[in-house]
Structure 1
Amino acid sequence: MNFAEAPDGTELAWSEAGEGEPLLLIAGQATSMDGWGPTAKLLSRYFRVIRFDHRGIGRSGKGDADRYTTRLLAEDAAAVLEAAGTDLAHVYGHSMGGRIGQWLAIDHPQKVNTLILAATSGGKSPEPGTQPDKAAMEALVSGDVSRLEPLFFDAEWVCANPEATHVFFNSRASAWAKARHFKASREHDAWNELSAIKAPTLILHGTGDALTPLPNATLLREHIQGSVLVRVPGAGHGLHLDHPETLDWIRQFVARKAR
């Protein structure tokens, strides 16, 4: 385990595995680096995979309350890349991690080779169909894993991967940190800045995502010039784990678009 120093001095735990071009994985809201589980392992066959715990999560320090915004969390991600000795990396963000990835590509364009955004959005939108399903949000707030599992993963995948499922839903985090992650994700708003993203961008989104409905991905595609949207039939919010075919699409995209 390694530690990077965030701009405010907070220690950020990070790890790496594999060889090849660097690929930074940015986890979702209140989820530790370990939550990438089998996805990180598969990607490490082809890339130097770098993962980290967000502040307040897992083995990272919690830092100051006012640093919990998606834009400032992107500064944490940049600090991890610096600690890893990486000037340029592919960036793969899931859910809130995708929101953070957007700011990383906007504020540190020189660091982002390609950008992969999974199950995410540019923020709240008045557009029809972009708001989460009410029952899905109630399940998310409840923290009840039995209610969350169907929103994220296919039932067959859960049965076949009990350990990965457990780790994903049981990241070490205090109620204090979880609340600030939730607030950071909810208040994200990058719509007016997304046109500044110049990194080739792949958007992956499940057609069955009730937490971040598909119209959010369509809007991202419209706002990020030259981006590519792949709709994953029937997938929910956790498609980065239970739909391994997405890894092939990522590899193909990176091979075509990387600097």
Structure 2
Amino acid sequence: MHLDISGLAQPSAPTLVLSAGLGGLGSFWQPQLAELRKAYRVVTYDQRGTGRSPDTLPAGYSMRDMAEELASALAARDIVRFDIIGHALGGMVAMQLALDYPERVARLAIVNGWLRLDAHTRRCFQVRQDLLLNVGVEAYVRAQPLFLYPADWLAENEARIEAEDALHNAHFQGTENLLRRLHALMSCDFTQQAGQITQPALLICSQDDLLVPSICSQKLYEALPNATLEAMPRGGHAMSVTESAAFNALLLTWLDETAPAHFSPEPLWQKP
């Protein structure tokens, strides 16, 4: 599994692991990296079977597999305790890690997540799956921004979206891999286990998310014992991209407010 580690180098620096959604690429978090690197050691990674972590995923691939793979990759780099920030599927990975490795996960932030897939989100994923199987990869990629971004943002960023489409077509993870990752996402259900996740948890949702209604984060908030909920008024499913300044401010404020008292990063600047 390909990992990128950047930011503070001190052994005592807190580590943030960033886990992307169904696309699986660590580059999803580019709008957050500059700010997070100022106070944290930051880990991004391409999930197994995507990007720079090519592989053929096995039948029956599950969310528990995704969590175990990440835990092993981090341990191989001597990262034994960390906070994790996950977007959609990445949020499911975060919860699975918190359940399976509670001694290693200090805090978790879940962006546009859910306890279990609701009917609306299931319909959206089924439409995307139908496009992939019945029309092809290009149609699947072309439709993807409709589920991620608000319409006005799409209209204002046409050149960027076309460049993203070309990139995703060129580096497509493969139909079988995508279907197995999608099945793992659609079948996971934390309804009975959420109460066991006692670490501090931040939930961020967007009220105009077309793919995952904000009520899903509300239900998750009610199920987690130690959660904080922040609802952004706009930004779509990928509001960490479209409204990155507001998103980063929410995330950094929560990280600061829930930080262990024993660690203080080196000052970023000195008064004259």
Which residue of the partner structure matches residue 152 of structure 1? 148
Which residue of the partner structure matches residue 220 of structure 1? 220
Contact kept? 1:116, 1:202, Cα under 8 Å? yes
Which residue of the partner structure matches residue 7 of structure 1? none
CA distance change for structure 1 residues 190 and 134 in 2, over 3 Å: closer, same or farther?
A: closer
TM-score, structure 2 length as denominator?
Answer: 0.80
3-state DSSP class of the match of 1:132? helix
Rounded to whole Å, the distance in 2 between the matches of 1:46 and 1:165 is 31
Rounded to whole Å, the distance in 2 between the matches of 1:132 and 1:257 is 31
Which residue of the partner structure matches residue 197 of structure 2? 197
Which residue of the partner structure matches residue 14 of structure 1? 3
Moved more, 54-63 or 12-21: 54-63
Rounded to whole Å, the distance in 2 between the matches of 1:34 and 1:164 is 17
Rounded to whole Å, the distance in 1 between the matches of 2:43 and 2:225 is 27
Contact kept? 1:38, 1:164, Cα under 8 Å? no
Q: Do structure 1's residue 57 and structure 2's residue 58 form an aligned pair?
A: no
Rounded to whole Å, the distance in 1 between the matches of 2:159 and 2:106 is 32
State the Cα deviation string for residues 67-90 of structure 1 (Å, max 9, x = none).
621122111121122123222111
Q: Which of the pair has more CA radius of gyration?
A: 2
Rounded to whole Å, the distance in 1 between the matches of 2:211 and 2:203 is 16
Residues 57-206 of structure 1: matches in 2 within 5 Å?
Answer: 57-62=50-55, 64-66=57-59, 68-125=61-118, 131-132=120-121, 134=123, 137-139=126-128, 141-142=130-131, 143-154=139-150, 155-156=152-153, 159=157, 162=160, 166=164, 169=168, 171-206=171-206
State the Cα deviation string for residues 132-190 of structure 1 (Å, max 9, x = none).
28467524653544433232124437628828971884554111111111111111111
Which residue of the partner structure matches residue 42 of structure 1? 35
Rounded to whole Å, the distance in 2 between the matches of 1:219 and 1:71 is 22
Contact kept? 1:113, 1:199, Cα under 8 Å? yes
Which residue of the partner structure matches residue 8 of structure 1? none
Rounded to whole Å, the distance in 2 between the matches of 1:169 and 1:191 is 33
Contact kept? 1:113, 1:258, Cα under 8 Å? no
Which blocks of at least 5 consecutive residues in structure 1 are unaligned?
1-11
Residues 26-37 of structure 1: matches in 2 within 5 Å?
Answer: 26-37=19-30
CA distance change for structure 1 residues 88 and 141 in 2, over 3 Å: closer, same or farther?
A: farther
Which residue of the partner structure matches residue 235 of structure 1? 235
TM-score, structure 1 length as denominator?
Answer: 0.84
